[in-house]
Amino acid sequence: MSTSKNYHWRIAGFYFFYYAFVGMFSPYWSLYLQSIHFTPIEIAILMSIQPVMRMIAPNIWGWLADHTGERLLVVQVAATLSAVFYFGVFLTTSFWGLFLVLTLMGFFWSASMPLVEATTLSYLGKNTAHYGRIRSWGSIGFIVAVVGLGYAFDYIAIAWLLWAGLVCEIGILIFARQIPKTEVLAHHTDHQPIRQIVMQPKVLALLGACFLMSVAHGPYYTFFSIYLVEHGYTKTAVGALWALGVICEIGVFFLMPALVKRFGFTRILLISFSAAVLRFMLIGWMVDVVVVLLFAQVLHALTFGAYHAASVGLVHEYFKGRHQSKGQALFGSFTYGAGGVLGGLASGPIWQHWGANALYSFSAAMALLGLLLMAWQSRHKRA
C-alpha cells in the first residue's frame, strides 16, 4: 500500500509543476508580451503557439510511445528538451525570436501530458473515477502560481515571470523521472487501426464538441487578464479571480466519483457545456459587476473541471489497450490543440475590431454549438 501511495504522489508532483507552468503562462504571459510592446494580433499569434504545438506534437509522441512501448522514456526526453529550449526566453524579446523559442519549447512541453494522462488512468485501473483526485494537484499547482505571481506583480516587474517559468520547467523535469511504469493491458481492439475507433459516431461527436469547447476558451486564455486590467482590476485581483475558478475546479475533481456514479460522463458534459454558454456571456457583458464576475469564475468548476474529467474519462473508455496513448494524444491535439489554436487566433482580430463584448459572445456561441452536438449524439444513442 505504501508503494501505491508513493506512486500517487509521484504522479501528483508532475501534475503540480506542469499546471503551475500553465498558471504562470495563461494568465500572465500576455501581460509580459504587452509589456514589451507587442500588438494584440502579435500577442494572439504568440499565445496560440502552445495550442498549435498541442495540435501537432502529441500525435507524434503518442505514436512513438505506443510503437516503442517506452511511454515514460518519451515523457522524460520531452521534459528534458522542453527545459533546455525554455532558456531561450531569456535571450530574446523580438517577435520572431520568441516565436522560434516558444515553438521549440512547446513542441516538447506538449508531448508529456497525454502520455501522463494515459499512465495515470492505467495506474488507477478500474478506479478511473478517482482520476480527479490525482489531477487536482495540477489545479493546486496552478493556484500557487496564479495567486503568488498575481500578488508579486503588483510589486515587482512582470519580467520576473521568466524565472517563475524556469522553476516550473525544472519541477516538471524532476518528477518526470519519478513517475511509475504501468503495464498496458492487451485489448481485443489492439489489432484495429485507430481510424476505425475514431470514425464511430460517439467518438466523432465527443471530439467535435470538445473542439468547440476549446475554441470557446481561446479568448479566455488569451485576453481575460488584459480585459480585467483594462477594467481597473489590479494584478492581485486578476490572480485571485483565476484562482477562484481553479479552487472550485478542485472541489469538483474530488466530487467526480460520486458525480460519475450518479450522472455518467455524458450528462456531466451536457451540464458543462450549458454552464460555458452562461459563463462567457456573463464575462463579456457584466465584467464590471464584481458579484457576477465571481459567479462566472465559480462556473469554471463545470466548464473546465467537470468537463475535463468527464471528457478524459470517455476517451479512456473509447481507446483501450495499445491505443491508449494515441487516443489521449489525438484528443488533446484535436481539442485543446486545434480548438485552442482557432480560438486564440480568432481572439486578436475580434478583440481589435469589435471589442470584448463580441469576443466573449463568440465564446458563448461556440460552447452552444458544442452543447447541441453532444445533445444530438446523446439522443441518437438513446433512440
Q: Which residue has the cell 481507446?
A: 319
d(CA 356, CA 203): 33
Spans of the chain, pLDDT less than 70:
1-7, 125-129, 182-192, 321-323, 380-383
Q: Where are the alpha helices (DSSP H) in 69-94?
A: 71-86
Amino acid code (one letter) for 193: P
Domain assignment present for residue 187? The answer is no
Range of the domain at 109: 2-179+192-382
Radius of gyration over alpha carbons of the chain, in Å?
20
Domain assignment present for residue 343? The answer is yes
Domain assignment present for residue 29? The answer is yes
Domain assignment present for residue 186? The answer is no
Domain assignment present for residue 184? The answer is no
Number of H helices and E strands in the chain, helices first, is: 16, 0
d(CA 333, CA 61): 11
d(CA 89, CA 178): 27
CB 73 within 8 A of CB 107: no
Helix (H) or strand (E) holding 6, with range, is helix 2-35
- CATH value at residue 328: 1.20.1250.20
Q: What pLDDT score does 168 carry?
A: 94
Q: What pLDDT score does 283 carry?
A: 97
Q: Where are the alpha helices (DSSP H) in 91-234?
A: 95-124, 131-152, 161-176, 194-198, 201-230
State the burial class of residue 196 (Cβ atoms within 10 Å of its Cβ: 0-12, 13-18, 19+). exposed
Number of neighbouring beta carbons within 10 Å of residue 342: 19
Domain assignment present for residue 185? The answer is no
Give me the phi and psi of 21, to 5 degrees please: -60, -45
Q: What pLDDT score does 2 carry?
A: 36
pLDDT tens digits, residue range 318-376? Answer: 887 666 777 887 888 888 878 988 998 899 899 989 999 999 999 999 999 999 999 98
Domains in the chain: how many in total? 1
Q: What pLDDT score does 105 carry?
A: 93
Q: What pLDDT score does 310 carry?
A: 93
Give me the phi and psi of 356, to 5 degrees please: -70, -35
Q: What pLDDT score does 380 carry?
A: 67
Domain assignment present for residue 197? The answer is yes
Domain assignment present for residue 263? The answer is yes
